[in-house]
Structures are given as C-alpha cells and as structure tokens.
Structure 1
C-alpha cells in the first residue's frame, strides 16, 4: 500500500470512531453497559443506619464498632438494608422502617430495649452501647400483658410446652447407710443350769443352721434330778406338797405337773419330757438344738468344757431380713416418715436395687456428724446383704396423693416472685404469677396462679424473656406508682 493510501485509511478510522463517540453521547447509538453500570442497576445503594462492620476480605469476622484488620485495612460498614435476616417479617419491617413504609404497612407502636431491659421509647433511639432499639408493631403487643413471638423464633429457640396436671410430689433424700442385723432375729443359746459340754455338734462360727439342728450334747445334774422326779410323780399318781398351790388349769392328767414344770423352766423341750415318760428312764445327757434358722455368730463351747447357768454357748442370727441404718442429714429429718419407700444400692452388686421401707427414726442426733439414724427393713432372702456392708440409700419422701404441679424448668424464679409463661396460642405467651408449695423430683406444687390443663413453657422460657421483652410485660402486672413516671414518659 502506498503512503498516501495508508494516510487516507487512518483518517477514515479516526473519523468513524469520532462519529461513534458523538452518536453515543447524543443518544443516537446505544452503547453496551459496562460491568459497573450493571452492578449499580441490579443492586441499589444501601440505606439505613450502620448495623455492624465486617472484614474487608470477606472473612467471618464482625464488629459492632469501627476497627481495622491486622494489616491496617478498615472494616466495611454494613447498613440496615444490607443485613441478612432469617426472619422475613423482621427484614420487611426493617426495610419499611428505613425507607418510610407506604400506606397500609404495619404501624410501629413503640421501640423496646434491644437487651430486654424494661425500657421503651415512642421514637427510634440507641442504648448506652449504641445499639438501636427494636420496633414493636401493633400485632406484636397487647394491653393484656401478654407477649408475642414470631413462629420463626419459636422454632429456632426450641420452645416446648406441657399441660399443667397432677403429679405425686416426692423428694428423694440420699444418705449413706450400713447394713445391720435385725435385733429381733437373734437367738442366744445359754443354759439355765450348771453343767459341762459332752460334745459340740458340727457347728462353727459362720455355719448356717436350720431350726432344730444339734448344736451340742451337755450334761446337767439339775436336768437328771427333775427327770427322775418326773418318773416318781407319774408312778405315785399324786402331786408333791410343794405343787399343791399349782392352779388347776395348769395341771395335766393325774395332777402330776411339778417335775414337768421345772424341766420346762430349765429350758428342756417337750420332746425330752415325752421321751422320759415313754422310755421310763432318765437319759444321762441332754441335747441342745438350734432355736432358729440362721448363721452362727458365736461359738463359745468346746468338748469337755464346763459352764454355769447363763453362760452363752452359741449366738445365731437370721439374715433373711436385715436393717439398713441410714445417716440422714439434720435438714432432711423432718421430711422422713415411717412407711416411706426406700431403694438401696451397693458396690458389691452394681445394677441391683434392694427395696424396703422406713420403720424407725431414732430420737437422737449425732452431734459429730449432725445426722440422725433412720432404720429401714430390707428383705434379704438370698443373704446378699451382709452386716456392716455400705449402701447408698434413696428415701422417697412426700405424700402419695397427687397435687397440681408444673415441671421445675417451667418456673422463672427471681427470688421474691415466681412466674410461668402460659401459652395462649398463636404465638402469644402470658407471664403469670404463681404461688408454689412443695418441691419434688422434677416438679413443683402450684397452689394458685394456673389451672389444670393450662399449657406452660418448659423449654425456651428464658429465651422468650430475652427475645420478647418479657420484663416489660411483667411490669404490666404491677400497679404503677402515681409519683413515678413510666419508662416511655422518661424517654420523652
């Protein structure tokens, strides 16, 4: 191409470019929109107050006040219209509040403290931390003192309600205990005559014996004398002079009762007396048998040993029923009553529970431990519980009659007043003062304030308190002092 033709082509290109620029400026030619223009048209400028500040690099770091990153970059302010809300109603309300909602929109009744404090304002304001007060609309507040929570919040905070019903109010008292022998099930073998031991039976300490088993064979001169006298009296057919004053009702056939009565007083069994009468001879020894079934606690005799009247030869205990001696703290003594059910667990038998009942409350307090002993009868058929074994005792105190009660988690206790949240339906909850009675395992007796069948909040009540300004609703139950201005008047 010649230099002249190249110059002409360049001039033509410049002229076309200038014409296009002029056409675009005058509107005769529509130029394509730049990326910035597209973003500006799709996302209008943010409006509203600053809600919080976010990390400029898009990291999950936020701040309620202006701040800089570690490398010196300033956090980006997020305005009200840019905030993401999971509650669509709240988001719409915020947009309406910021952009002057059109006619027909919900009317704002007042603004409440964002931290749940009992403080309201008729106009938008900030608290001491710079947080905006939250708008309360007409359908979110009522003059009856109830509060309303949106369905979305109810679901997120996991609100649960139960119906007020009747339950047995029982309080479980826990105490340590020790297994002891039932004193009424101990028998002592102590002859009432002097003698000596001919032979001890196959019995040692710890041996389990049955009633009637042979414990020992003994010799006693007093037994032999009275047995011989018995034969003489039966042969003569009359009663000796020293038996003349025996009441007729105690005399046996033939009036011979003197020797028999003396043998019985010496501890001889009727079986021995009948044997003497039948055999018509006096045996040289006398057999001592176990008076009850049980375990031998003591064996004090040996073969050939002499003894005096009253000396203890054996001690036998029946362990089929034992005592559990529980040490109950001084503050719990008044709640324990005879006949109440008891559960006992031991280290020796994990997972096994022994059941019994309270029988006796000992009338003395141990000053060293500030506890009182409570005696519990425990059936022990398989002899699993051994004397001096430790156990954990649980006493179910309280009456068996049912009482109107609510779960403990339903009660909001401020110390000087107790409140429950009653579910009125449609997201409304009414704080109601109640009067409490006894406290049991998981339940508290209600004397007044709610009726059977009312639904009360048992889970999420404290979150409802924070989310719905419960304290402001509670103020409606208190009589306003004529000399004290309200929070709304004070804020004005």
Structure 2
C-alpha cells in the first residue's frame, strides 16, 4: 500500500509541474502485479525525474542540461517527500499529545503565526503552510511581563538604557520685537512762552551726547527770573537776601533752565538775552519739532531723545509655555537682521495679561546694546532656558509611549523579560523626559523597538483571553 501511494504521489507532483507524459499513467488502471513491478523498479532504478540544479520549478523525465551546460539534478524515489508515518511510542495515544521541551522549558501550546486568535496543543500548520509558534512556560506569565528570545531581541534591535539623574534644559522658542527702554527716553519742551532763536545742526536720527547744545531760546519769564537771581547774588548778603536768592535760583530750575546756563549767570554776573538749551542725556534724536523763529507755547515738544545702549525685547510666549517661565531666566535673542549673532539677557518682567486673539503672554528681556545694533521695532527670535539647574530622574524620550491620557515604559527585567510600567512625566528637553513616578534610579528601560514589544504584549494578552474563553 505504501508503494502504491509513493508512485501515485510522484505522478501527481510531475503532473503539477507540467510533465504531461505522466498524465497517461494516472488515467491507466494498472494491475497489482504491474504496481509491484513498478515499485521494485523504483527501488533499484536511479531517478524518477530530473530537476533544475538551482531548485527552480523545472523538471524532465530524461537527463537534461541547462542553457549554460549544467546537468539537471537526479531525484530518486522518496528523496524529496516521505510518505512514511513517523513511529510513535506504544504507550502514547491520540488522547495524550506529545509534550515538547526546549532544554528545561516545556511547550505549553502553539499559537497562530499570523496573530489570529487560534491556538493548538500540538504542532500544526496554518492554511498557508506556516508552522504554529511554540509558547513555552513563562512566556505568558501573569505579571504582565513580555518575554522575548535572544534571537528576536537581536533581530528587532531592542536596546535598553538605565534611568539616571540629569539636568534638563527645556528651551521655549518664541518671536518678539525690540522696543525702547521707557526709562531712557527724554522729552525737551518749554515751561513758559518762548521763542526759538537758533537750532543746532541736529536732525532726527542724529546721535547726541549729554550737554551738547541743541538750540538758543528767548523766554521773558526766564529772563525775569534770571535778573532777580542776579540781583540777589550781587547785593549784600543778609539772612533775608540769602533766602530770597535761593528762591530766585529755584524759579530758574522750575523753568527747566539748564544747569550750565545758571552757572554761566553766576560766573559772568550778567543776564543774557537768550539761553542755550542742551541735551539732557546721551542718545539718538527720535523727533525734532524745533524751527528757528517759531513761537513755543508751554508744554510744546521740541526734541525727543532716547538712549539705545540698553533695549527691551518684548517676547510673545505661547500660553501653554507660560508656566515654565520665571523671572531671572536667561534668554538668547537673535535678530533677523544679524544672522549668527546672539544677544543675551535676563527675563525682567512677565506682563500680567494674555492676548485674547493670539493666546500669548508677553515677557520683557533687557538686552545690552553697546554698538547700537538693535533698533526699536526690529523683529527677533528668542530662546528661553527654562531649566532649573537641579538634576532630576530622567529617561530618553524614545522610551516613553504616550497614549494621550497615559504614559508607560518597558522595564528590562533581564533574561528577555520586559515589564510594562505606567509612569508620570514632567519637563522635557535635551532628548530626555523627567519621570516623577514609576521608575527608580538605575532601572533599565527600553529605548529602541519598544513599539514591537508593545505589539507583542497586546497580542499575547489577546491570545491569553481567547484561550481562557475557550477553556471555559
């Protein structure tokens, strides 16, 4: 019977391969004697067919050569397929499946190689001929851990790194604009009705220094006060005269007469017809309204001068990053007009309001500007270092699997076991994440291919649930 099956199977293989002469053999009805003689010939004769030497699905009933001159490989009966049933111990029955071992570990069951919810207590193939995967004792432990073989760990590139104390530097990036320091802006105006006699060669955009002459002004009120002051300092100095003299000088100060002009009156003992007005500070002239011969009413602005040696950077920080900003943090500002150049300063003020249209908060950074490169209304980009400088427990960013509501890591327990652990994270920066709960210092966590372990964990959990349901 075995020989009959052998010949029939060989004929079926050759017919499937396209060797039509065997089709006639399948249609014949040979007698038992012919089958017996054919079986004896198959045992003693050499090959039953010839196959391409490279293993391609090319066959021949007679010896043949390939196009490059190589001989086809001779295939004897039973060389490629065995139809003999394996011998089994007499004491093993169908009701008692054979238990396989791998070293000291026992195979519990076999699962579908494609991840389908199908298990088997004995070796099995799926519909595509793929072997079921053996599951050993300990691979599906109840503690939620996942076990992988060393070969699988190497193939998938699983890599672990211990959690450690590190200093996290989180950079908040935001755009901003340069503005003048409000405390370094001066306005020159007259406090009494005056006439401008002459204006110095100073225009908008000119740089002036403190004490530099700007214009000559005639004011009846200033002239009267100067005459009174001169009379007191030239008269005999009695107690009442000294008090009156101090009052006369104070009237000149109240009229905003420059100190240099008052000193000139005291030195020359003469009241000039006009007074020279000078710049009150170093800076750039932002506005000039003074014109020779014009009449000026009290309060009229003639010059506006601003000091550019220190500027403000007003940075618009996103609302979500506002909680990480505090006073005293260092900020690096880069002007778009000067690529590659950096300006550094500290956060001085956090404005107590949110822009309802842009949902941003404004902070102020003071920047030294010694070469006057920064100009007001200039656009800049800022980076604010929000790190505290104190080391915290961290893991690499790639180790944390974030689902939105939960964060988890895989802790490497050794010997191919990986335990999923829920964690609570904090600040992020420099490629690391602060871990506040869930992991201890020095515990190794998976930083590479953790998504494959997560998929394996979900698959095993699903298979375990199906297996328990089937048993119930």
TM-score normalized by structure 1?
A: 0.68
Kindly indicate whether the alpha-carbon contact (under 8 Å) linking 1:213 and 1:289 is maintained by their aligned counterparts in 2: yes
CA distance in 2, matches of 1:153, 1:165: 27
SS at match of 1:153: helix
Counterpart for residue 433 of structure 1: 422
Residue 392 of structure 2 corresponds to residue 389 of structure 1: no
Q: Could you tell me which of 240, 261, 284 is aligned with 1:295?
A: 284
Residue deviations 1:52-97 (CA, integer Å, cap 9, x gap):
xx9958xxxxxxxxxxxxxxxxxxxxxxx99xxxxxxxxxxxxxxx
**TM superposition shift of 1:206:** 0.6
Residue 260 of structure 2 corresponds to residue 271 of structure 1: yes
Residue 425 of structure 2 corresponds to residue 446 of structure 1: no
CA distance in 2, matches of 1:119, 1:380: 73
CA distance in 1, matches of 2:123, 2:364: 68
Residue deviations 1:304-328 (CA, integer Å, cap 9, x gap):
2221222111111112222222333
Counterpart for residue 230 of structure 1: 229
Counterpart for residue 216 of structure 1: 215
Residue 304 of structure 2 corresponds to residue 325 of structure 1: no
Counterpart for residue 164 of structure 2: 165
Q: Could you tell me which of 399, 406, 416 is aligned with 1:410?
A: 399
Q: How many residues align?
A: 393
SS at match of 2:109: strand
CA distance in 1, matches of 2:265, 2:143: 98
Counterpart for residue 468 of structure 2: 489
Gaps of 5+ in 1: 1-24, 44-53, 58-80, 83-98, 244-250, 477-484
CA distance in 2, matches of 1:120, 1:435: 37
SS at match of 1:287: strand
CA RMSD of aligned residues (A): 4.1
**TM superposition shift of 1:217:** 2.1
Counterpart for residue 46 of structure 1: none
CA distance in 1, matches of 2:412, 2:182: 57
CA distance in 1, matches of 2:317, 2:161: 35
Kindly indicate whether the alpha-carbon contact (under 8 Å) linking 2:180 and 2:376 is maintained by their aligned counterparts in 1: yes
Kindly indicate whether the alpha-carbon contact (under 8 Å) linking 1:237 and 1:256 is maintained by their aligned counterparts in 2: no
Gaps of 5+ in 2: 1-39, 59-79, 82-97
Greater mean alpha carbon deviation, residues 184-193 or residues 376-385: 376-385
SS at match of 1:434: strand
CA distance in 2, matches of 1:292, 1:124: 94
Counterpart for residue 457 of structure 2: 470
Residue deviations 1:255-296 (CA, integer Å, cap 9, x gap):
841222112222223333232222222223222221111111
Kindly indicate whether the alpha-carbon contact (under 8 Å) linking 1:121 and 1:488 is maintained by their aligned counterparts in 2: no
